[in-house]
Copies of this chain bind each other. A is one copy, B any other.
Amino acid sequence: MPSKYTAPHIANKVRKLRKASIDVTLVFNKLIAGDKTALAQAITLIESTRESDFQLAENLVNQCLTIPSKGIRIGITGVPGVGKSTFIEALGGFLTAMGKKVAVLAVDPSSSFTKGSILGDKTRMETLAKDPNAFIRPSPASDALGGVTRKTRETLILCEAAAFDVVLVETVGVGQSETAVHSMVDFFLLLKLAGAGDELQGIKRGIMEMADAIVINKADGSNLNQVKIARGEFKRALHLYPPKENQWTPTVLSCSALHNLGIEAVWETISHFMTMTKANGHFAKNRTNQNKNWFLQSVDALLKHQFYANSQTKDRLKQLLNQVETNQISPYAAAKALVQK
């Protein structure tokens, strides 16, 4: 009888044996025909941590890249409690009712513990989850934002190859995940509440600068007057920024996601943005720049990863950090000593 210590190990082995090698071409063909099961399978491959899956995942992504992307990528952020899920459910439902296919992804490194914030709470996005034209995928589990970001970027490519018209990428309004999402979407939407006392918080954190639209949610009932005041404040705040290179002027809107009010106006704004930036070339330019940046950032990340993975480097790093702390060596000289070893 296996001890409780060997059991997980054996279970893992069995799981590995069971998981037959995936036929990438088959998955790809099903995926581009719009098969949601194949899409889910493909994403699982991308999220896999098995060495043997890496090359398969890479092949699949490279194949998907050959399919011209026709969709739009929309990032949605806002602090917890702002109503992101309700908003996505409302916008997603509005779009599927128009006949569009909508995918919802998430970048939320903190959710690796709950294995995905989107589906962590089963009551969230209940209607959209059942919609045949919608596809919802929780945040991939990863111990670092970089890992989550990469997997989400690649998932996005798969969704577009699977002919999804709109990909909504949700992120929680804390930390660096917003910058990560901004770097992979065409349109960045900041959800806000009126009277939350944080009207200007977004400025100092640089979030407002990234926003193409600010949407004040929960604009209903007794809240309407506060919403009006907040709209004015956000508009003034947006004036602090110089005009964007793409010539788009960020707008302030309000909606009540819970009551499905104002959702159409949000979509009109996004459509207008699309038309304008596609006409002036900035839509394509932005995507090319994002890809180039993603490439260069990945090079940096891989270089660092490779460098610090060495156990000798780790030991030497500790020693040198200690010498730096006690002023025995200049930080630059220490860095040279570490790199040139």
Once the chains bind, are B204 and A299 in contact (CB under 8 Å)? Answer: no
Q: A66 — which chain B residues lie within 8 A by C-beta?
A: 327
Segment of A72-80, A267-275, A289-297 engaged in the interface with chain B: A289-297
Q: A62 — which chain B residues lie within 8 A by C-beta?
A: 328-330, 333
Copy number in this complex?
2
Q: A332 — which chain B residues lie within 8 A by C-beta?
A: 58, 61, 150, 153-154, 294-295, 298
Nearest residue, chain B, Cβ from A209: B204
Q: A325 — which chain B residues lie within 8 A by C-beta?
A: 288, 291-292
Q: A265 — which chain B residues lie within 8 A by C-beta?
A: none
A339 at the binding interface (Cβ < 8 Å): yes
**With A302-B335, A303-B307, A304-B303 known to touch, is A327 a contact of B65 (CB < 8 Å)?**
yes
**What is the distance, in angstroms, from A157's C-beta to the closest C-beta of chain B?**
7
**With A66-B327, A325-B292, A329-B62 known to touch, is A300 a contact of B298 (CB < 8 Å)?**
no
Once the chains bind, are A65 and B153 in contact (CB under 8 Å)? Answer: no
Q: A295 — which chain B residues lie within 8 A by C-beta?
A: 320-321, 324, 331-332, 334-335
CA distance in complex: A65, B323 (Å): 11
A175 at the binding interface (Cβ < 8 Å): no
Q: Which of A52-85 contact B (CB under 8 A)?
A: 58, 61-62, 65-66
A240 at the binding interface (Cβ < 8 Å): yes
A336 at the binding interface (Cβ < 8 Å): yes
A229 at the binding interface (Cβ < 8 Å): no
Total chain A interface residues with beta-carbon distance under 8 A:
50
Once the chains bind, are B292 and A339 in contact (CB under 8 Å)? Answer: no
Nearest residue, chain B, Cβ from A330: B61
Once the chains bind, are A321 and B302 in contact (CB under 8 Å)? Answer: no
**With A58-B333, A325-B288 known to touch, is A299 a contact of B206 (CB < 8 Å)?**
no
Nearest residue, chain B, Cβ from A307: B303
A311 at the binding interface (Cβ < 8 Å): no
Once the chains bind, are A330 and B154 in contact (CB under 8 Å)? Answer: yes
A200 at the binding interface (Cβ < 8 Å): yes
Once the chains bind, are B58 and A306 in contact (CB under 8 Å)? Answer: no
Q: A291 — which chain B residues lie within 8 A by C-beta?
A: 324-325, 327, 331
Residues of A at the B interface (CB closer than 8 Å) are 58, 61-62, 65-66, 150, 153-154, 157, 200-201, 203-204, 206, 208-209, 240-241, 288, 291-292, 294-296, 298-304, 306-307, 320-321, 324-325, 327-336, 338-340
- Counting from the closest, the 5 A-B pairs by CB-CB distance are A298-B335, A295-B331, A294-B331, A302-B339, A299-B335
